[in-house]
């Protein structure tokens, strides 16, 4: 039989800390009481009693001046007040992870939010958390969440905050949240499931899927131990939930090849070792049986192999213990050497909107408040750190009483950032940052957490453009001034734009040629043309080159800021002038006209303008012809409007085409009389 012990089995940090605090207090004060059973394990409670740690159930039972341990589950506000009123000496062993839930509950309730706690209604931790607000709703299951959604429609309109019991099963919590999301429009979710619980549950599921049997060690009242057994049950046929070695019926493990062992957060190491030992003894017995039944040689080999395995398994707890001892020493050492301002490295254990929990490998719990992650007010903590990331931070505060270490990532980043900024200033490198706000006289760019002021004149925006246009945008800038003692950094976006524009202009002048197309932006317009930026250089499109149609001014077709495709008509490198065309040469109406019509053809034309000397008529869009007054009618007329009116459509004969000047002469009279005079010369 192979025994696989879960790495995460046994006391969690919070429980270990509470037990140690109780033992210390009992020694220091000659005994103490715990408000409620310190942990859900009768063996440990009995062992503590032997050391002078007794259990009381309510604050009323506490005597004035008596030392009271608040267990890792914590208590509500009222209990603290009652204990203070009694004059008790309070030793608060509330797990820091749980304490943070209390703070969230209190703060959000005070901010007018409805609190929902996902967890077991009767669990001391849930009762304690609910004791930091009024009217908390406790949900034990998805079914209860469904009922709530149905029966309390008013929750849709009020802000709601949800927290979870630290030992809840994540899938169930997520399921419940999805239901609440259907109703609550203003929902704040704190995933407060303790990462040690989540890891323990994950490992238990993995053991259950690979072993023939799983032994879960924990008290019957220990919620997290019960959950471990529940998680293993669907994955493994044989799950034995026992409180200690005595409760293990070893005969049930006979014939099983692999057994997984896990334990709840309130199970001490010595109980896990006893269970291991009992199973190892069973293996020894199996070996003896083999020895009795098999020939000597085979027995020797089998016995040797099995004994080695047994030895390894049996010694495992001892080895662990030795390892633990040296680990403890290292731990103590590391705790003592943690100082404010020191740089530490840890692993991200959990991320909530308000803080990030860091596993520093010590028994102190590291955390970084959201405000110490980054200076960017718009940043999302989840985008910056992920569970499992290795992270470097500065120690801000060590609280040995609470067992917490407050860390700051942004300050470490800031030191690095100042170095980088000074280097960027010295080496004149271009840096990139996000504009976070408009400021009096300019904008502020966040550069790795450092505020860089960019004066309006250096913003690169055209005059009179509001600075707000830049807010939220990522910009490239050059650092022009660094004064770290005064925490002042000045930058220029314009300098970068200027240099980039100059580089592009140089390249453009090297490569320019007639007919080359550019994608340009209309920068300004006059009555005679539009100036277009084609990449560092402005060219001019004359009004006649904007459209084939008759237009009065460029603004009839173009607008400032419009992106247009232009081509080079001519350029002068020396005087830095470029003449551009916008109208499509392939859509030239004259070409279309000459391809379609020739002299003597008859065309249906539209009278577009009446003049004293004749009428202009549109033959095709973009090509007009002139009907001289003498060619309008057979008889002499005083003015063209005696016969024609604007907008009228008539048939006219093409009597002359002037290719050079793109002019066309038309005649209506030629169609009325065969003796129409040749008019072209006359005109």
Catalytic residue numbers read 125
Measured from the CB atom, the residue of 212 and 402 that comes closer to ligand F3S is 402
Strands lying side by side in the sheet with 213-217: 2-5, 258-263, 213-217, 238-242
Distance CA 34, CA 55 (A): 5
Q: CB of residue 397 vs ligand F3S: minimum separation in angstroms?
A: 20
Strand order in the sheet with 114-118: 137-139, 114-118, 160-164, 187-189
Minimum distance between the CB of residue 470 and ligand F3S, rounded to whole angstroms?
45
Residue 25 or 479: the one with the smaller Cβ distance to ligand F3S is 25
| Beta strand pairing call for 450-455 and 614-620 | unpaired
Q: Report the residue number, 19 or 482, with the smaller CB distance to ligand F3S.
A: 19
Residue nearest to ligand F3S (CB): 14
With CA atoms as reference, report the closest residue to 262 among 327, 208, 195, 194: 208
Residues that bind ligand F3S (CB under 6 A): 12-15, 72, 95, 97-98, 166-167, 194, 196-197, 265
User: Positive or negative CA dihedral for 622, 628, 634, 640?
Assistant: positive
End-to-end CA distance of the chain: 118
Tell me if 599 sits within 8 A of 644, measured CB to CB: no
Maximum C-alpha span of the chain: 143
Select 262 or 306, whichever has its Cβ closest to ligand F3S. Answer: 262
- In angstroms, give the least distance from the CB of 56 to ligand F3S: 20
Of the pair 12, 104, the CB lying nearest ligand F3S is at 12
Phi then psi for residue 67, to 5 deg, are -85, 125
Contact 467, 505 (CB under 8 A): no
In the complex, minimum distance from the CB of residue 15 to ligand F3S, in angstroms, rounded to a whole number: 5
Distance of CA 152 to the CA centre of its chain: 32
Which residue lies nearer to ligand F3S by CB, 272 or 666?
272
CA distance 472 to 484: 25
By three-state DSSP, how is residue 504 classified? Answer: helix
Alpha helices by DSSP H, 483-628 = 493-511, 589-596
Return the closest-CA partner of residue 119 out of 176, 172, 164. 164
Least distance CB 21 / ligand F3S (angstroms): 12
Q: Which is nearer to ligand F3S, 197 or 364 (CB)?
A: 197
Long-range contacts of 608-615 (CB under 8 A, 24+ apart): 608/646, 609/646, 610/639, 610/640, 610/641, 610/644, 610/645, 610/646, 611/640, 612/639, 612/640, 614/640, 615/640, 615/644
> 196 or 414: whose CB is closer to ligand F3S?
196
| Rounded-to-5 percentages of helix, strand, coil across the chain | 40, 30, 30
Q: How far is the CB of 79 from ligand F3S (least distance, A)?
A: 18
Query: Min. distance of Cβ 263 from ligand F3S in angstroms?
Result: 12
Compare residues 171 and 584 and give the one whose CB is closer to ligand F3S: 171
Q: Which is nearer to ligand F3S, 166 or 497 (CB)?
A: 166
Task: Round to whole Å and give the CA distance between 208 and 238.
Answer: 9
Q: Which residues pair with 492 in a beta bridge?
A: 478
CB 446, min distance to ligand F3S, A: 35
DSSP state of 487: T
Q: Cβ(38)–Cβ(18) under 8 Å?
A: yes
Distance of CA 90 to the CA centre of its chain: 41
Find the shortest distance in angstroms from Cβ 143 to ligand F3S.
26
Q: Give the residue with the Cβ less far from ligand F3S, 72 or 631.
A: 72
State in angstroms the smallest separation of the CB of 295 from ligand F3S: 52
Contact 660, 666 (CB under 8 A): no
Sequence-distant (≥ 6) Cβ neighbours of residue 308 within 8 angstroms: none
Question: Which element (helix H / strand E) includes 520?
Answer: strand 517-525
If the CB atoms of residues 15 and 163 are measured against ligand F3S, the closer one turns out to be: 15
Least distance to ligand F3S from the beta carbon of 112, Å? Answer: 27
Q: Which two tokens stand for residue 304?
A: 């040797």
**Shortest Cβ distance from residue 227 to ligand F3S (Å)?**
11
Distances in Å between the alpha carbon of 653 and those of 534, 589, 635, 665, 682? 45, 19, 18, 8, 16
Angle formed by the axes of helices 96-110 and 13-29, nearest 10°: 100
Angstrom distances, CA of residue 222 to CA of 17, 39, 193, 218, 228:
17, 8, 16, 7, 10
Residue with tokens 């650092």: 479
Residues in Cβ contact with 26 at an 8 Å cutoff, skipping those fewer than 6 apart: 32, 48, 51, 52, 53
């Amino acid at each position: 039989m192979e025994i696989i012990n879960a790495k995460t089995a046994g006391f969690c940090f919070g429980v270990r800390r509470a037990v140690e605090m109780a033992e210390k207090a009992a020694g220091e004060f000659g005994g103490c009481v715990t408000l409620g059973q310190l942990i859900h394990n009768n063996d440990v409670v009995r062992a503590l009693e032997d050391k002078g740690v007794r259990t009381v159930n309510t604050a009323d039972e506490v005597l004035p001046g008596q030392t009271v341990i608040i267990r890792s589950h914590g208590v509500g506000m009222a209990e603290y007040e009652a204990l203070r009123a009694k004059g008790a000496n309070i030793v608060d062993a509330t797990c820091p992870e749980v304490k943070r839930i209390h703070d969230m509950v209190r703060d959000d309730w005070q901010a007018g939010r409805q609190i929902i706690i996902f967890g077991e209604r009767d669990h001391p931790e849930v009762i304690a958390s609910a004791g930091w607000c009024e009217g908390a709703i406790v949900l034990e299951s998805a079914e209860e969440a469904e009922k709530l959604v149905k029966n309390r429609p008013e929750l849709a309109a009020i802000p709601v905050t949800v927290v979870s019991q630290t030992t809840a099963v994540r899938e169930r919590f997520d399921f419940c949240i999805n239901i609440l999301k259907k109703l609550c429009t203003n929902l704040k979710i704190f995933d407060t499931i303790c990462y040690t619980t989540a890891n323990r549950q994950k490992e238990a599921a993995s053991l259950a899927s690979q072993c023939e049997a799983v032994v879960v060690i924990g008290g019957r009242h220990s919620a997290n131990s019960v959950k471990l057994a529940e998680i293993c049950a669907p994955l493994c046929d044989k799950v034995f939930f026992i409180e200690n070695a005595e409760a293990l019926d070893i005969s049930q493990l006979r014939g099983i090849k692999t057994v997984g062992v896990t334990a709840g957060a309130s199970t001490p190491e010595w109980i896990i070792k006893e269970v291991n030992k009992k199973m190892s003894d069973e293996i020894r017995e199996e070996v003896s049986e083999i020895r009795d039944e098999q020939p000597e040689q085979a027995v020797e080999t089998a016995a040797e192999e099995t004994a080695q395995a047994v030895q390894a398994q049996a010694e495992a707890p001892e080895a662990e213990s030795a390892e633990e001892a040296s680990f403890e020493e290292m731990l103590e050492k590391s705790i003592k050497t943690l100082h404010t301002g020191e740089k530490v490295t840890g692993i991200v254990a959990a991320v909530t909107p308000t803080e990030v929990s860091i596993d520093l490998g010590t028994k102190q719990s590291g955390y970084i408040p959201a405000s110490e992650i980054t200076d960017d007010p718009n940043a999302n903590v989840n985008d910056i750190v992920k569970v499992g990331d290795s992270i470097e931070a500065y120690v801000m505060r060590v609280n040995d009483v609470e067992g917490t270490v407050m860390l700051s990532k942004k300050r470490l980043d800031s030191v690095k950032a100042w170095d980088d900024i000074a280097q960027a200033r010295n080496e004149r490198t271009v840096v990139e940052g996000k504009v976070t706000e408009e400021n009096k006289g300019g904008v502020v760019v966040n550069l790795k957490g450092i505020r860089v002021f960019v004066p309006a004149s250096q913003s690169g925006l055209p005059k009179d453009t509001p600075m707000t246009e830049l807010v939220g945008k990522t910009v490239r800038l050059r650092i022009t001034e660094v004064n770290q003692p005064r925490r002042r950094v000045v930058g220029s976006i314009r300098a970068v734009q200027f240099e980039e524009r100059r580089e592009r202009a140089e390249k453009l002048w090297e490569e320019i040629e007639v007919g080359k197309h550019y994608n340009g932006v209309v920068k300004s317009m006059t009555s005679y043309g539009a100036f277009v930026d084609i990449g560092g250089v402005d060219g001019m499109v004359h009004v006649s080159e904007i459209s084939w149609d008759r237009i009065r001014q460029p603004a009839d077709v173009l607008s400032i800021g419009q992106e247009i495709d232009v081509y080079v008509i001519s350029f002068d490198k020396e005087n830095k002038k470029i003449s551009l065309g916008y109208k499509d040469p392939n859509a030239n109406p004259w070409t279309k006209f000459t391809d379609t019509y020739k002299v003597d053809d008859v065309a249906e034309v539209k009278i577009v303008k009446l003049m004293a000397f004749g009428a202009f008529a549109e033959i095709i869009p973009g090509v007009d012809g002139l009907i001289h007054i003498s060619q309008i009618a057979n008889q002499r007329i005083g003015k063209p409007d005696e016969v024609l009116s604007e907008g009228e459509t008539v048939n006219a004969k093409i009597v002359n085409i002037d290719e050079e000047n793109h002019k066309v002469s038309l005649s209506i009279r030629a169609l009325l009389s065969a003796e129409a005079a040749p008019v072209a010369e006359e005109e």
